[in-house]
Amino acid sequence: MPRKKSQPERKKPASAMTAEIEGAGSVLNQPITQTIEQNYMPYAMSVIISRALPEIDGFKPSHRKILYTMYKMGLLSGQRVKSANIVGQTMRLNPHGDAAIYETMVRLSRGNESLLHPYVDSKGNFGKAYSRDMAYAASRYTEAKLEPICKELFEDIDKDTVDFVPNYDNTTTEPTLFPARFPSVLVNFNVGIAVSMASNICSFNLKEICDTTIALIRDPDCDLHDTLLGPDFPGGGYLVYDKAALEQIYRTGRGSVKIRAKYRYDSSANCIDILQIPPTTTVEAIMDKIVDLVKAGRLKEISDMRDETDRSGLKLTLDLKRGTDPDKLMLKLFKSTPLQDSFSANFNILIAGSPKVMGVREILQEWVAFRTECVKRRIYFELTKKKEKLHLLEGLQLILLDIDKAVRIVRETEEESEVVPNLMIGFGIDQTQAEYVAEIKLRHLNREYILKRTAEVEQLREDIAKMEDTLSSKKKIQGVIVQELKQVAKEYGQPRKTQFLFDAQEAEGEEEQHPDYAVHLFLTKEGYFKKVTPQSLRMSGEHKLKEGDEIAQHIETTADAHLLFFTDRMQVYKSFAYEFPDTKVSLMGNYVAGDLGFEEGERVVAMAVTKDYAGDMLFFFENGRVAKVPLTAYETKTKRKKLANAYCGKFGLEAAFQIVQGQEFQITTTGRRVLLVHSDLIPEKTTRDTQGIMVLNLKKNQKIASVQPYVPGSLSQEHRYRTKTLPAAGALLREEDTQATLF
């Protein structure tokens, strides 16, 4: 019988397959709040709790994993090992990449100079915290071990002082906190950015922190300012002393302090050496800012600048021009460069798994509570061990009464399993004591050995009584903490690196005074600027100009006037007349684009001069629109040098004029039409990049050819060119009026 041809298995339709999966293909309406709670909140909490914020021991999880790994590697007392080895071992606790682990270790090192008391003793190039471009070497080239101060972090860590948890793959354990014997959370700089919150903890002097903690233990209401003078930064510098600002930080954990660079003046070389800078900036950032000021013409006292940083430390040298007062120059630099900067404190710390912003007093109180628990757990651990030892020795003491009896019991017992029960019965001891006696070696069954061991019994009883007394007394626990703090301060304390500047007026700097006198300002079409005094103008002849160039604007004012240079890129550059040097008519003048740092190819189209920002700017566009913008729209409270969107960029700009009061303008088109428009007819707009209003109706392929302030009487029958309503078409230019136009 012929076999039937097998039919290929028919695929089930997609609808049938999805029907087999419960809930597949269905759309659920879920509130956005529920989605965020289920998906985003776990991520946010993980970042806050397990990554970004430090805990009361002063460390983030990444720091703790590295240091504990080095401790387990025996690097507290051993020789340095390759950093790559440390990074590899740390990956047993930290599942992140080796680059992230090594970068974290670099910041903990002495070579990087990020911390007041480094935790890693480094050898090799670990970069510098004060340099943006000085990169650290790869981990295979550098070596490291733990600094001696880490002993105070790990002391008694193996005596159940802190909790241990399994690592990410459950192959080993790691501590949740370090039983630090000093408030490391306030001793070293710590920055963290979590989700919707951040932490920025400044460092304090170790001895001051220890003394303050001791004072706080003895008197919870003590004045912190008596012992804690202020932050102490690893880079040194000067702290502008402000007791109110420090009080705010001490009380709330939030506030700001000013730090200034430290410098010295070398009179023989006429140069300033900057030796210490604020912790919030870098040498490169300072140099970039000084270069910008020199290019803008605001800093003319410096002839050269170079970075002379070497193995001895930071050094930025500024060569001065002859006659420069170094102190006045530094005051100017403090105001306009990061040589004086603010440090914003935000003491946000994890307490029992929850972020909390606290002041110095509250942080130290939390640390004392944490350390009290560590000391109690250590004493209880040691007490338990001593009780266990005492219990064994008390059993051994009973054996001393009749050693021969113990030997006889062991010898006469037929089964090994009966040795311990028979000893328990023979001497009235428990199983633990009997096990201990049964394990004594034959060579130790002599009176001398047993007497030596049992001699410890009295000492153990005294120690146990003392420990139990300590555990029951809060004051004695605090005495232990105080003694440890004194020892740490004595062994690791060091003088302050950041000194105080108490003269608040000097710290604020002095406003630079500029002489005010009458000047004539000239701007050419090619963008050259001249500031000429009236006396020089009277004694001069014709202007020296570039070939094909001509004077576009001439304004009389004084040296303290504000200058606004409008460019063809819809930008306005702001300056002051005193920032430009006095010159002569016989010279070319200053090229504005170069002095103010214009973009490549950018050129000046108009200049406005003002002192009170009264009046308006009129912008005439090629398509017949005119915008009227008040000068106050370009006034800024800060000393910004550049504003974008100075006028509308959708149409080609034909001309721009500054007006203080109503003025009439003559507009000429490429179709030889002329319109006289008074500025009062144009409504004022508050936004800088407004499109304005249509003033001139243009025919196809025509545009505005020229705009100029109208000189009364220059056009015959001028009423023909005026209109009462806008927009207007204007009138055809009469032959006799041709000379009165720029067309």
Q: What is the pLDDT of residues 256-280, one digit of tens each?
A: 999 999 999 999 999 999 999 999 9
User: At residue 180, does pLDDT exceed 70?
Assistant: yes
Class of domain 518-740: mainly beta
pLDDT digits (tens, 9 = 90+) for 312-355: 889 999 999 888 889 889 998 998 899 999 999 999 999 988 99
Which residues make Cβ contacts (< 8 Å) with residue 693, sequence separation at least 6? 625, 626, 627, 682, 683, 726, 727
Residue appearing with tokens 């295979």:
140
SS3 648: coil
| Rounded alpha-carbon distances, angstroms, from residue 205 to 161, 524, 653, 714 | 26, 60, 61, 80
Span 142-158, mean pLDDT? Answer: 95
Fold category of 376-492 in CATH: Topoisomerase; domain 3 (1.10.268)
Interaxial angle between packed helices 403-412 and 360-400, expressed in degrees from 0 to 180 and rounded to the nearest 10: 80
- Range with the lowest mean pLDDT among 38-52, 580-594, 694-708? 38-52
SS3 554: strand
Residue 597: pLDDT band (50, 70, 90) is confident
Span 119-147, mean pLDDT? Answer: 94
Q: Strands of 604-610's sheet, edge to edge?
A: 604-610, 562-567, 572-576, 642-643
Catalytic residues: 141
Give pLDDT, residue 537: 87
Give pLDDT, residue 639: 67
Question: Residue 367 class from Cβ within 10 Å (0-12 exposed, 13-18 middle, 19+ buried)?
Answer: buried
Give pLDDT, residue 507: 36
Neighbours of 523 (CB within 10 A): 22
- Range with the lowest mean pLDDT among 50-54, 295-299, 404-408? 295-299
Candidates 561, 554, 556; CA nearest to 516 is 561
Span 21-45, mean pLDDT? Answer: 78
Candidates 269, 188, 281; CA nearest to 237 is 281
Span 176-180, mean pLDDT? Answer: 95
Give pLDDT, residue 586: 87
User: At residue 544, does pLDDT exceed 70?
Assistant: yes
User: At residue 13, does pLDDT exceed 60?
Assistant: no
Read off φ and ψ for residue 82, nearest 5 degrees: -60, 140
Work out the angle at residue 11's Cα, subtended by the Cα atoms of residues 5 and 16, and round it to the nearest 5 degrees. 145
From 3.30.1360.40, 3.40.50.300, 3.40.50.880, 3.20.20.70, which CATH number describes the 262-338 domain?
3.30.1360.40
| Rounded alpha-carbon distances, angstroms, from residue 45 to 49, 134, 166 | 6, 35, 20
pLDDT digits (tens, 9 = 90+) for 275-290: 999 999 999 999 999 9
Give pLDDT, residue 24: 67
Peptide bond into 727 cis (omega under 30): yes
Give pLDDT, residue 4: 46
Give pLDDT, residue 411: 86
The whole-angstrom separation of Cα 669 and Cα 665 is 13
Candidates 362, 301, 306; CA nearest to 333 is 301
Give pLDDT, residue 505: 44
Total-model pTM? 0.68
User: At residue 2, does pLDDT exceed 80?
Assistant: no
The partner residues of 574 in beta bridges, in order of sequence, read 564
Mean pLDDT across the chain: 88
User: At residue 491, does pLDDT exceed 70?
Assistant: yes
Domain 59-179 has CATH 3.20.20.140: no
Most confident of 537-541, 634-638, 696-700: 696-700
SS3 375: helix
Q: Strands of 704-709's sheet, edge to edge?
A: 704-709, 664-669, 673-678, 731-732
User: At residue 438, does pLDDT exceed 70?
Assistant: yes
The whole-angstrom separation of Cα 52 and Cα 198 is 8
Work out the angle at residue 223's Cα, subtended by the Cα atoms of residues 222 and 228, and round it to the nearest 5 degrees. 115
In the chain the first and final C-alpha atoms are separated, in Å, by 108
Span 522-550, mean pLDDT? Answer: 89
Residue 742: pLDDT band (50, 70, 90) is very low
User: At residue 254, does pLDDT exceed 70?
Assistant: yes
The whole-angstrom separation of Cα 109 and Cα 27 is 54
Percent of the chain with pLDDT over 70: 94
Span 401-417, mean pLDDT? Answer: 84
Span 550-567, mean pLDDT? Answer: 92
Residue 305: pLDDT band (50, 70, 90) is very high
The whole-angstrom separation of Cα 232 and Cα 212 is 14
pLDDT digits (tens, 9 = 90+) for 79-106: 999 999 999 999 999 888 899 999 999 9
Domain ranges within the chain, ordered by starting residue:
59-179, 262-338, 376-492, 518-740
Residue 188: left (phi > 0), alpha (psi -120 to 50), or beta? beta
Residue 26: pLDDT band (50, 70, 90) is confident
Question: Residue 177 class from Cβ within 10 Å (0-12 exposed, 13-18 middle, 19+ buried)?
Answer: middle
Span 698-725, mean pLDDT? Answer: 87
User: At residue 620, does pLDDT exceed 50?
Assistant: yes
| Rounded alpha-carbon distances, angstroms, from residue 524 to 377, 535, 540, 570, 586 | 83, 21, 18, 19, 14
